[in-house]
């Protein structure tokens, strides 16, 4: 009898809200390192170090235990950690939706109403799980799902406190725990600050006199800073010189430089109406939830505008604050808007909750109509089931392919191919996060090509970065120009000249086409270029044999449906590097070799056949 009671108390809907997203996320999980910040995050997590500002200490410490799992490489394990946090965020949607539904239903819910409440909450959780933004963040290492889960918990705590308070019961512990989670969430992503006005509103709209309770305010602030103490990770680990130690936050000044993101100067742009509209369009509910989802969201808002008024207003305040930050304070340049789209994940979580309220409202209206008409249950049940599963099914079918990264080896292969391009003990200057971070991961974590010196050009102007390479830059002339504000086009030649006296020096494709290097010639070696000090800038025949060492999974066959900005750039680098090699051979009079190379390009990458024919025609070749 006791076993039946325990089984009956298990909320199968809650379990499904967590396990179904996790199952689907694992089907689409990236198998290793990806582009953008992936290699940097994994390297920092593996060594308990510090990634780029502001350091993300909670995310680093959350993901670290997953690196001990006995399957996949370290990058896959960190990707798995992100899938778990995204699934927890979906579970948070379920809990929040159910909480609001129970609070809005004044009557004692019968068995049917309880079923509809849990079904609608599950539908909302799955709709959020399969939304474009969260799904994109779930299948590789990202801190935003972890932040979103904490936001859901804070809202849930405040709703529990509010319910108790309105019944005459003081439960300040809920508020203190929420403040603690807010402080912790700073270590996941600093955009938690943008939600503080919404949290404060839920407190003060319940009873504005709470603002005069000094003791509770002090305890709440104390709890916040206890959570915020996760940032002690940065100076403590900096003293241990981990593998990745961004900012080297040993001192207070370096900690503040790192935490306040001083390494990222604000770019002032002239904003016109088209830019303003693009900035506003970064928050896009229609794109995330489709037209049916947006309709259900509106139904949820309208039908619960009284019962959940204060929560709805808190949602509106959050939207206003986020947009004021992105559009007003940041004035994000057009080419960087795609980064700010990441910030809105907690808002989409709240939107999913309201879509769940809309689903319940329609389902309840539907069942009430069925009972009033005395229609048999079997005659309307299919339509009711369709209503409950429609949104998740539409979301999943729409977004599955474009978020499927289970065979995405682009970044991994790009990094391995780059390392295979280099002779022993060489130095490689990289440019751009995606050109550097996967290499950091492979060398630092997977211990591949540890003989190489990987130097990231944009960081050469920072003392902490030079300090992280004591063997390379201990007595470097670069230290004499620190703080002088020299542009990178002047810093890079100094670094290259210094390394040329010690080892072969290479630059990657992005470095070559980002900065003009006067006084140097180059010889192409696959997707890298060896440098020679040469004022005449002579042309050298490329080394095309290295292409036989390259893995080109998904590029030749075009079998990777997932594409982001840097994945497309990597594909273009492969294509135009090989085209360049063939054209260079033709320009040097090596016609047989040039024709052979271009034929390989056309055979390996059929999409470039027209470009190959154009180059051959320019040199009078067939």
Residue 275 in this model has a pLDDT that exceeds 60: yes
Question: Per-residue pLDDT for 280 more than 70?
Answer: yes
Strand partners, 528: 508, 525
pLDDT over 90 at 98, yes or no: yes
Tell me: pLDDT of 403 over 70.
yes
Report the pLDDT value the prediction gives residue 380, as an integer from 0 to 100: 61
Sheet strands side by side (includes 505-508): 453-456, 427-430, 505-508, 528-533, 520-525
User: Are 351 and 297 within 8 A, CB to CB?
Assistant: yes
Q: Read off the pLDDT of each residue in 16-41 and give the average, rounded to a whole number.
A: 93
Answer whether 562's CB lies under 8 Å from 537's CB.
Answer: no
Please give the share of the chain, as a percent, with pLDDT higher than 70: 94
DSSP class of 557:
S
Q: What is the pLDDT of residues 146-182, one digit of tens each?
A: 999 999 999 999 999 999 998 888 899 999 999 999 9
Among 58-67, 296-305, 434-443, 536-545, the range with the most confident prediction by mean pLDDT is 58-67
Identify which of 524, 514, 519 has the alpha carbon closest to the alpha carbon of residue 537.
Answer: 519
User: In angstroms, what CA-CA distances link 323 with 235, 267, 281, 353?
Assistant: 33, 18, 10, 20
Report the pLDDT averaged over residues 364-375. Answer: 75
Phi then psi for residue 175, to 5 deg, are -70, -45
Q: How far apart are CA 446 and CA 448, in angstroms?
A: 6
350, 368, 403: which is the final residue of a domain? 403
Q: Are 179 and 221 in contact (CB under 8 A)?
A: yes
**Same domain membership, residue 100 and residue 31:** yes
pLDDT digits (tens, 9 = 90+) for 529-552: 999 887 777 888 898 888 888 888
What are the pLDDT digits (tens) for 261-270? Answer: 887 766 677 7
| Phi, psi (degrees; rounded to nearest 5) at 465 | -75, -45
In the prediction, which pLDDT does 27 show?
94
Q: What pLDDT sits at residue 97?
A: 95
Specify the pLDDT at position 7: 43
Whether the pLDDT of residue 476 is over 60: the answer is: yes
For residues 379 and 443, membership in a common domain is answered with no
User: How far, rounded to the nearest angstrom, does the alpha carbon of residue 583 sit from its chain's CA centroid?
Assistant: 38
Compare 484 and 128 and report the one with higher pLDDT.
Answer: 128
Which residue would you say has higher pLDDT here, 27 or 273?
27
* DSSP string covering 479-500: GGGTTS---HHHHHHHHHHHHH
Look at residue 149 in the predicted model and tell me its pLDDT. 97
Number of domains composing the chain: 2
Q: Lowest-confidence range among 14-28, 344-358, 399-413?
A: 399-413
Q: Domain boundary at 338, 370, 403, which?
A: 403
Give yes or no for residue 32 having a pLDDT over 50.
yes
- Please tell me the predicted confidence (pLDDT) of residue 561: 65
237 and 129 both lie in a single domain: yes
- Domain edge (last residue) among 353, 376, 403: 403
CA pseudo-torsion sign 553, 68, 57, 23: positive
Provide the terminal-to-terminal Cα distance of the chain, rounded to the nearest Å.
Answer: 85
| 507 strand-pairing partners | 429, 529
| Strand 453-456 with 520-525, pairing | unpaired
Residues 77 and 129 in one domain: yes
Q: Is pLDDT above 70 for 88? A: yes
Secondary element (H or E) of residue 471: helix 470-473
- With beta carbons less than 8 A apart as the criterion, state whether 479 and 485 touch: no
Give the model's pLDDT for residue 205.
92
Q: What is the pLDDT of residue 9?
A: 64
Mean pLDDT for 232-257 is 92
Instruction: Judge if 530 and 515 occupy the same domain.
Output: yes
Query: Are 376 and 415 found together in one domain?
Result: no
- Shared-domain flag, residues 367 and 329: yes
3-state SS of 225-283 is: HHHHHHHHHHHHHHCCCCCCECCCCCCHHHHHHHHCCCCCCCCCCCCCHHHHHHHHCCC
pLDDT of residue 377: 59
Clarify whether residues 451 and 528 are in a common domain.
Answer: yes
90-94, 303-307, 440-444: range with lowest mean pLDDT: 303-307
- Which of 149-153, 404-408, 415-419, 533-537 bottoms out in mean pLDDT, i.e. has the lowest? 533-537
Q: Note whether 442 and 533 are same-domain residues.
A: yes
**pLDDT confidence band for 605 (50 / 70 / 90):** confident
Q: Is the pLDDT of residue 46 over 90?
A: yes
Q: What Å distances lie between residue 157 and 154, 254, 279, CA to CA?
A: 5, 35, 32
Do 466 and 335 lie in one domain? The reply is no
Nearest-5° Cα angle at 489, 488 to 491: 55
- Quick one: pLDDT at residue 614? 87
Domain ranges, residue 80: 2-403
A 10 A CB-CB count for 497 gives 15
**pLDDT over threshold 50, residue 6:** no
DSSP letters spanning 72-138: S-HHHHHHHHHHHHHHHHHHHHHHHHHHHHHHH--SPP-HHHHHHHHHHHHHHHHHHHTSHHHHHHH
Query: pLDDT tier at 558 (50, 70, 90 boundaries)?
Result: low
What band does 336 get if pLDDT is binned at 50, 70 and 90? confident
Minimum mean pLDDT range among 128-132, 226-230, 346-350, 615-619: 615-619
Which residue is it, tokens 């024919």? Answer: 613
- Nearest residue to 175 (alpha-carbon basis) of 131, 121, 221, 111: 221
How far is it, in rounded angstroms, from Cα 46 to Cα 244? 9
Q: Where are the alpha helices (DSSP H) in 28-68?
A: 38-47, 57-63
Most confident of 302-316, 374-388, 487-501: 302-316
d(CA 42, CA 53): 15
Confidence check: pLDDT of 145 > 60: yes
DSSP for 119-131? HHHHHHHHHHHTS
Mean pLDDT of 69-75: 92
Specify the pLDDT at position 559.
62
Same domain assignment for residues 205 and 326: yes
Tell me, what DSSP letter sits at residue 32? S
One domain for residues 250 and 315: yes
CB–CB of 404/561 below 8 Å? yes
Segment 355-384 shows an average pLDDT of: 77
Identify the pLDDT of residue 1: 44
Mean pLDDT, the chain, whole residue set: 87
- Rounded to the nearest 5°, which phi and psi values hold at 422? -110, 140
- Per-residue model confidence (pLDDT) at position 379: 57
CA Rg value for the chain = 28
What's the confidence (pLDDT) of residue 266? 64
pLDDT above 70 (res 106) = no
Mean pLDDT of 353-360: 93
């Amino acid at each position: 009898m006791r076993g039946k009671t325990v089984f009956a108390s298990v909320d199968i809907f809650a379990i499904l809200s967590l396990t179904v997203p996790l199952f689907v996320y694992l089907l689409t999980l990236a198998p290793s390192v990806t582009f953008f910040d992936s290699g940097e995050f994994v390297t920092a997590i593996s060594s308990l170090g510090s990634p780029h500002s502001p350091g993300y200490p909670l995310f680093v410490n959350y993901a670290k235990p997953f690196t001990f799992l006995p399957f996949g490489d370290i990058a896959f394990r960190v990707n798995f950690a992100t899938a778990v946090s995204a699934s927890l965020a979906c579970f948070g949607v379920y809990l929040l939706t159910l909480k609001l539904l129970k609070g809005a239903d004044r009557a004692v819910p019968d068995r049917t109403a309880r079923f509809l409440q849990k079904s609608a909450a599950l539908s909302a959780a799955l709709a959020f799980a399969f939304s474009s933004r969260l799904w994109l963040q779930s299948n590789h290492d990202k801190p935003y799902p972890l932040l979103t889960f904490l936001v859901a918990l804070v809202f849930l705590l405040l709703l529990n406190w509010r319910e108790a308070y309105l019944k005459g019961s003081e439960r300040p512990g809920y508020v203190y725990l929420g403040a603690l989670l807010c402080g912790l969430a700073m270590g996941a992503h600093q955009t938690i600050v943008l939600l503080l006005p919404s949290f404060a509103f839920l407190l003060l709209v319940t009873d504005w006199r709470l603002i005069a309770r000094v003791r509770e305010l002090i305890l709440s602030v104390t709890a916040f800073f206890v959570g915020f103490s996760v940032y002690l990770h940065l100076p403590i680990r900096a003293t241990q010189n981990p593998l990745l130690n961004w900012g080297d936050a040993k001192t207070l000044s370096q900690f503040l430089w790192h935490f306040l993101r001083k390494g990222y100067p604000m770019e002032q742009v002239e904003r016109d109406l088209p830019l303003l509209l693009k900035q506003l369009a970064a928050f896009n509910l229609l794109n995330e939830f489709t037209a049916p989802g947006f309709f259900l969201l509106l139904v949820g808002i309208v039908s619960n505008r009284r019962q959940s008024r204060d929560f709805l207003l808190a949602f509106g305040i959050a939207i206003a604050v986020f947009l004021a930050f992105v559009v007003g304070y940041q004035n994000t340049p057009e080419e960087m808007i795609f980064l700010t789209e990441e910030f809105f994940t907690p808002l989409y979580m709240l939107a999913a909750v309201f879509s769940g309220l809309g689903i319940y409202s329609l389902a309840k209206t539907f069942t009430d109509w069925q009972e009033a008409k005395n229609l048999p249950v079997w005659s309307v049940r299919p339509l009711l089931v369709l209503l409950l599963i429609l949104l998740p099914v539409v979301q999943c079918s729409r977004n599955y392919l474009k978020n499927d990264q289970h065979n995405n080896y682009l970044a991994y292969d790009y990094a391995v191919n780059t390392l295979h391009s280099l002779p022993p003990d060489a130095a490689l200057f990289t440019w751009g996060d995606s050109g550097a971070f996967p290499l950091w991961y492979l060398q630092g974590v997977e211990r591949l090509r540890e003989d190489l010196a990987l130097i990231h050009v944009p960081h050469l102007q920072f003392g902490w970065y030079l300090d992280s390479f004591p063997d390379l830059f201990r007595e470097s002339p670069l230290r004499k120009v620190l703080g002088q504000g020299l542009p990178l086009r002047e810093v890079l030649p100094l670094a290259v000249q210094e390394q040329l006296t010690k080892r072969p020096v290479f630059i990657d494709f992005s470095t070559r086409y980002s900065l003009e290097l006067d006084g140097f010639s180059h010889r192409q070696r696959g997707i890298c270029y060896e440098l020679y000090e040469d004022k005449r800038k002579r042309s050298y025949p490329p080394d095309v044999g290295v292409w036989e060492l390259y893995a080109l999974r998904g590029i030749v066959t075009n079998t990777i449906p997932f594409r982001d900005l840097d994945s497309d750039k990597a594909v273009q680098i492969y294509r135009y590097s090989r085209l360049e090699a063939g054209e260079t051979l033709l320009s040097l009079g090596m016609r047989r070799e040039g024709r052979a190379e271009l034929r390989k390009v056309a055979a390996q990458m059929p999409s470039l056949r027209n470009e190959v024919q154009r180059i051959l025609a320019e040199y009078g070749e067939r």
